């Protein structure tokens, strides 16, 4: 009987489905804009690092050093909106019951996650644009329009693997423990991927294990976008796609089972 009744429930019109996705994305953007204490560190922390190491301390190395660090600190910057924008907020909202409440609303189940993903992509775009402005004005880096656009696109799409990783961590940990756990992932991964210092400056062991981290692969793509890496990129793309798909599936499975 229940199956027969559910078969007659009309599907939501496509326009309303699209409206639900857009409204959820808008609400996520407004919510984070009203919490500058959360968003400003995400955006300004990589800018401060790049100003110190990529502009002031890289002058002796010339424009190539500033260009190299622009790509690396760009990756360092876009990791943060994915890990913390997704992981911390998801963990807190699970603890507070907001996720359960949203499940009860007549909205597509993917709208909540899509809204967070779009917000992370927008934050990543702001980070890259801020670093580009600093590199071009203070670091005297010369980039073509195509290179700047390629770096921006790499950052906006490159945040997605870290959204997936942050989402998975957010399903594992209570809200209060999520920031600390994500810091234990974020900072060591950045260092061991060669984002703070070029890999040849690191110990041989760290150079050998660097490909384990998704940040390393995104860094190789970012370096290629600014003309600092001419190696084949297909393998790096495959790894990042696999990380995104794998952690998304693991997180979705945990959300279905544990909420």
State pLDDT tens for residues 108-127: 666 777 878 888 898 899 99
Task: Report the sign of the C-alpha dihedral through residues 78, 259, 26, 181, in that order.
Answer: negative
Give me the domain span that covers residue 116. 14-258
Q: Which residue has the higher pLDDT, 35 or 216?
A: 216
Share of the chain above pLDDT 90, in %: 34
Residue range 10-30: average pLDDT?
69
- Answer whether residue 150 is part of any domain: yes
Q: Tally Cβ neighbours within 10 Å of residue 100.
A: 11
On average, the pLDDT of the chain sits at: 82
Average pLDDT over residues 95-115: 66
Q: Is the pLDDT of residue 52 over 90?
A: no
Report if residue 84 sits inside a domain: yes
- Calpha distance 220→227 (Å, rounded): 11
Number of domains in the chain: 1
Nearest to 143 by CA among 77, 50, 233, 227: 227
Check pLDDT > 60 for residue 7: no
4 belongs to a structural domain: no
Average pLDDT over residues 34-51: 78
Residue 253 CB coordination number (10 Å): 12
Residues 20 and 111: their CA atoms lie apart, in Å, by: 7
Q: Which residues contact 61 (CB under 8 A, 6 or more apart)?
A: none
Stated pTM of the model: 0.85
């Amino acid at each position: 009987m229940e199956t027969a009744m559910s078969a007659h429930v009309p599907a939501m019109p496509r326009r309303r489905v699209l409206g639900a996705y857009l409204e959820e994305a808008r609400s996520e953007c407004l919510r984070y804009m009203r919490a500058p204490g959360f968003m400003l560190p995400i955006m300004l922390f990589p800018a401060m690092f790049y100003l110190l190491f990529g502009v002031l301390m890289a002058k002796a190395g010339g424009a190539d050093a500033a260009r190299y660090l622009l790509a690396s600190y760009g990756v360092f910057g876009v990791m943060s909106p994915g890990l913390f924008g997704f992981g911390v907020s998801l963990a807190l909202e699970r603890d507070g019951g907001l996720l359960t409440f949203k499940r009860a609303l007549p909205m597509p189940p993917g709208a909540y996650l899509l809204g967070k993903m779009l917000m992370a992509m927008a934050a990543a775009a702001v980070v890259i644009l801020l670093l580009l402005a600093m590199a071009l004005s203070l670091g005297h880096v010369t980039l073509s329009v195509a290179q700047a656009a390629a770096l921006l696109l790499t950052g906006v799409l490159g945040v997605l693997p870290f959204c997936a990783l942050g989402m998975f961590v957010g399903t594992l940990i209570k809200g209060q423990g999520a920031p600390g756990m994500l810091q234990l992932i974020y900072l060591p991964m950045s260092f061991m991927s060669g984002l703070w210092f070029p890999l040849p400056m690191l110990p041989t062991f760290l150079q050998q294990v660097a490909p384990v981290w998704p940040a390393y692969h995104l860094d190789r793509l970012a370096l290629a976008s600014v003309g600092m890496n001419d190696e084949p990129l297909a393998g790096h793309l495959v790894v990042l796609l696999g990380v995104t798909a794998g952690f998304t599936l693991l997180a979705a499975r945990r959300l279905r089972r544990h909420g």
